Amino acid sequence: MGQRHTVARRLALGLIFLLVGPSNQSVTSAQTLAETQQRANQGDALAQTALGFIYQSGEGVPEDFMQAAVWYRIAADQGYAPAQANLGVMYSNGTGVPQDFSQAASWLLESAEQGYAPAQANLGVMYSNGTGVSQDDVEAYKWLSLAVSGLTDNTQQGYADYRNATARQMTPAQLDEAQTRAADWQAAFENGQAE
């Protein structure tokens, strides 16, 4: 149990880094910011998410977590998975919104069900810890496995380690069930039928 919680603490510190902005490019010019604002005001979910990230990071504007949450929510309400995940993490951390683990889990689930790996990873951790959801190692393993297969950055190994630590806490029957759930979800997702 100790290793899993050590990994959990490490991953919790890294949650903010899973807040995925729309690009790796720095928004430094006032013109770029104005163009992003205009597109966001026209309903572009990617631009709305970009503004959320800009306000959250304080890149080119004063840092404003409440404004970040507003823009993430607007894009999340349109079903945009990265915005849903970012909003879920903000609820989990109580950043820009009141801390509400149930809301965090709800937004992360919305995003995870669209196949968004960072949301799947965070949701897996929430199931593992029983934060905002009932503690369930089978669901934790399922979501962590899906995330690990979808992540391509330096967080992949950390979540693989977390998934493996979770597996060591499970019975063989639970592990078999978790692997079956992950495989069934992936197959349904690939066929456009995941829920």
CB 163 within 8 A of CB 81: no
In this prediction, residue 24 carries a pLDDT of 42
* Rounded-to-integer distance, Cα 175 and Cα 37, Å: 47
Q: pLDDT truncated to tens, each residue of the chain (195 aa)?
A: 455 544 444 444 334 334 444 444 444 467 788 899 999 999 999 999 999 999 999 988 899 999 999 999 999 999 999 999 999 999 999 999 999 999 999 999 999 999 999 999 999 999 999 999 999 999 999 999 999 999 988 889 999 999 999 999 999 999 999 999 999 999 999 998 766
| 142 and 178 Cβ atoms separated by less than 8 Å | yes
Q: Which residues of 74-106 are buried (b: 16+ CB within 10 A; e: fewer)?
A: bbbeeebbbbbbbbbbbbbbebbbeeebebbbb
State the pLDDT at residue 75.
98
Give the tokens for residue 117.
Answer: 């790996």
> SS3 of 176, please?
helix
The pTM score is 0.85
Query: Residue 127 — φ and ψ, nearest 5°?
Result: -65, -40
List the domains of the chain with CATH numbers: 28-110 (1.25.40.10), 115-189 (no CATH)
User: Given this model, what pLDDT does residue 84 score?
Assistant: 97
